[in-house]
Amino acid sequence: MREGVLYGVSVGPGDPELLTLKAVRVIREADVVAVPDCGGKRQMAYAIAFEYLVGKQVLDCQTHMTGNRVAANESYTRIADDICALLDEGKSVAYLSLGDVSIYSTFAYVQRIVRERGYETEIIPGVASFCAAAARLGEPLCEGSECLVVAPPFSPYIDQVLELPATKVFMKSGRQLNVLRDTLGKRGELEHASMVANCGLPDERVYPRFADAEAPAGYFAVVIAKKTDGQK
């Protein structure tokens, strides 16, 4: 019997209409759909793709948003074990991932383990949440010779990121929104920063002025600070 294939399927940022045709096909054709379950995420990826999941075998994947690397790796190994058992049965598995799989997804960790064990994997790209947030704000991210940088506010290189004359996208900001607001304020960049939380979801909140945003906005807040002409 031929082994199944593991697909990392991007489901986009929230609006079910932002699934790609390919994502819909791969989810429909998959024998099993794996859904990450962590801090409300299960509900999100599951809800976005819900229309295509009716009657499907669903594998719940418990991940842990923890600073503890060992515990996190253990959870990825457990997920990989479950997935490989299905692949051995010849089943194909579609692992759902919010936004685009390549951007801060747990799939990267799971895929690495599964691939190292010799199984075939494939990634279906999708709409990154910061692209959807920019679209919602009606503003481009980069034009001409401009640069774009994407970073979590807790990056060890945040000072270098802030110094770069580029449009800056801050992701995974949830718990650090106030700190980020203070930092941008001190640098005189707050007036050019916007925020979109839960983009495309029923509880979406759009703040053209990040300064006006209420905190906490939840984990899925994207802050976009535009390069200003004043920046050297």
Give contact residues for a copy of itself (rule: CB under 8 A). 8, 10, 12, 15-22, 24-25, 100-105, 107-109, 111, 115, 121-128, 131-132, 134-136, 138-152, 154-157, 160-161, 163-166
Strands 221-225 and 193-197, by their bridges, are antiparallel
Residue type, 72: A
Please answer whether residues 194 and 208 qualify as being in contact, where contact means their C-beta atoms are separated by less than 8 angstroms: yes
How far apart are CB 100 and a copy of itself at their closest, in Å?
5
Closer residue to a copy of itself (CB): 1 or 202: 202
φ, ψ of residue 133 to 5 degrees: the values are -65, -45
Closer residue to a copy of itself (CB): 17 or 89: 17
Please answer whether residues 139 and 192 qualify as being in contact, where contact means their C-beta atoms are separated by less than 8 angstroms: no
Closest by Cα among 161, 226, 219 to 193: 226
How far apart are CB 187 and a copy of itself at their closest, in Å?
16
How far apart are CB 76 and a copy of itself at their closest, in Å?
11
Closer residue to a copy of itself (CB): 1 or 144: 144
Contacts of 138 (CB under 8 A, 6+ apart): none
Other residues' Cβ atoms within 10 Å of the Cβ of residue 171: 21
Closer residue to a copy of itself (CB): 57 or 175: 175
Closer residue to a copy of itself (CB): 8 or 84: 8
Strand partners, 34: 59, 95
φ, ψ of residue 40 to 5 degrees: the values are 90, -5
Task: Kindly tell me the burial class for residue 56, based on how many C-beta atoms sit within 10 Å of its own C-beta (0-12, 13-18, 19 or more).
Answer: middle
How far apart are CB 209 and a copy of itself at their closest, in Å?
18
Q: What's CA 38's distance to the chain center, in Å? A: 13
Closer residue to a copy of itself (CB): 39 or 102: 102
CA 52 to CA 54: how far, in whole Å? Answer: 6
How far apart are CB 154 and a copy of itself at their closest, in Å?
6
How far apart are CB 213 and a copy of itself at their closest, in Å?
20
